[in-house]
Structure 1
């Protein structure tokens, strides 16, 4: 029996993790969300039983510590897999290039602050809150969901100048993952940054088609966006196979350093 904690489980990939992991009845699956009752209602509507949903906000260390205390009661004081999925990306700034912030300096500052607080500081809060439980496991795996938008080769080859604050904050998160990996290697804790690929999580079909065309400059054979189910199933294969020698790395859902 394996125990999983999914931070940021209210929708998209996080919610899909709850669905996919619940298919194995021997798993103990716990999701963290700002509004757990809404997630629990959705799980009930979708006929997904035996998933625990607790209050947990990436930007609130107190809520994460409280969630960890509750998780300990459910998992015999250990967590095999901690998956940090929650992230912030702004619709207002995602299409802006660096020079697009000329005259929008306050927006730039505010968006960077929110991005860093959630995507970087929130990741540290979450890992620190659950690290004691992870260390008590025999598996000891921490996975932070990142993005291929941090990849220099993709940015250069696909000529992606937009999504400045999201990409930069996630790149900082990848560095944080390396820092944890170095610190915790002697204790056998594996820490991984993992890109899910281009996943259908609510954009318009026209936008997915546009992004696919852009990304084919980087990967000519790219077939387009995948479903959350496809992404999570692929991610779980990577998570299951990753070793302590790979701790700290940034891998794709393909298990490689190529994002698509």
Structure 2
């Protein structure tokens, strides 16, 4: 039985976002597929529509505040509410050590991975507040965990004990995203809107040159679970894909 409702997935024309859109559509949700590139976004939405899913392309560049406001207005006009927001859009960074990373490189990554999430979330919150079961899922990474980084301990097993990547732009942007998750979760406690972060695992995507060991569909699984939590579900938690039904708790 489908769960119904309406969802917005950012950065959904490929990779994990596309897989999340497919899975939510398969549950009977109306899904707005957010993408910057109109041609690619329309093609992705058409492909999912051909499979019988209610998926609609939404022009959405998370770094463009006026464009985000227009996207929120369209959702308001067409459906009047939003039940699920998946903040999936993200970019990677360079491989240079922190001491050799230019400030502009950090700023560029933060524009999408951090400020873009704030822009979209704030624009969509009025619509989420109209839902009887609003859910926000931020697609993060274990690399953004300060606790695991300080211990050089990757509980997901991608990196051996004593080895942890020092990717200044990407890692710190995901740490900031984790902080956003907790902050919004705390503000919205008692509202019925649950806000959580998911590390989808080492998924083969463009960010890692498709070297990941999981498929996008596998990476989407836990995101979809957190997007469809019941009223008694958790809020303000960080979980990672490990193949178990509920995933593994991760430290902030």
TM-score of Structure 1 vs Structure 2, range by shorter chain:
0.7 to 0.9
* In 2: Cα distance, 1:171 partner to 1:111 partner: 16
TM-fit CA distance, 1:33? 1.0
Greater CA radius of gyration, 1 or 2?
Answer: 1
TM-fit CA distance, 1:71? 1.2
Distance 1:232 1:56, change over 3 A: same
RMSD in angstroms over aligned alpha carbons?
A: 2.2
Distance 1:115 1:243, change over 3 A: farther
Contact 2:141 2:199 in 1 (8 A): yes
Task: Give the secondary-structure state (helix, strand or coil) at the position aligned to 1:40.
Answer: helix
Question: Which of 109, 112, 124 is matched with 2:106 structurally?
Answer: 112
Distance 1:22 1:87, change over 3 A: same
Contact 1:16 1:228 in 2 (8 A): yes
Which residue number in structure 2 is paired with residue 247 of structure 1? 235
Greater percentage in helix: 1
1:256 matches 2:248: yes
Q: TM-score, normalised by structure 1?
A: 0.80
Which residue number in structure 2 is paired with residue 22 of structure 1? 25
Residue pairs, 1:171-190, within 5 angstroms? 171-190=175-194
Which residue number in structure 2 is paired with residue 123 of structure 1? 117
* In 1: Cα distance, 2:43 partner to 2:217 partner: 20
Which residue number in structure 2 is paired with residue 200 of structure 1? 204
1:34 matches 2:36: yes
| Residues paired across the two proteins, number | 231
Task: Give the secondary-structure state (helix, strand or coil) at the position aligned to 1:226.
Answer: coil
TM-fit CA distance, 1:144? 0.9
Task: Give the secondary-structure state (helix, strand or coil) at the position aligned to 2:228.
Answer: helix
Residue pairs, 1:37-116, within 5 angstroms? 37-45=39-47, 47-49=50-52, 50-75=54-79, 77-90=80-93, 93=94, 95-99=95-99, 101=100, 107-116=101-110
TM-fit CA distance, 1:243? 5.7
Contact 1:22 1:48 in 2 (8 A): no
Q: Can you list the C-alpha shifts for 1:44-71, whole angstroms capped at 9, x where unaligned?
A: 3563453101111111111111111111
Contact 2:34 2:41 in 1 (8 A): no
TM-fit CA distance, 1:230? 1.5
In structure 2, runs of 5+ residues without a counterpart are: 154-160
* In 1: Cα distance, 2:10 partner to 2:41 partner: 12
Distance 1:168 1:144, change over 3 A: same
Question: Which of 220, 225, 230 is matched with 1:232 structurally?
Answer: 220
Question: Which of 3, 9, 20 is matched with 2:12 structurally?
Answer: 9
Distance 1:9 1:45, change over 3 A: closer
Q: Can you list the C-alpha shifts for 1:190-232, whole angstroms capped at 9, x where unaligned?
A: 1111111111114457x44xxxxxxxxxxxxxxxx21111121
Q: Can you list the C-alpha shifts for 1:119-140, whole angstroms capped at 9, x where unaligned?
A: 1111000000100000000011
* In 1: Cα distance, 2:221 partner to 2:239 partner: 15
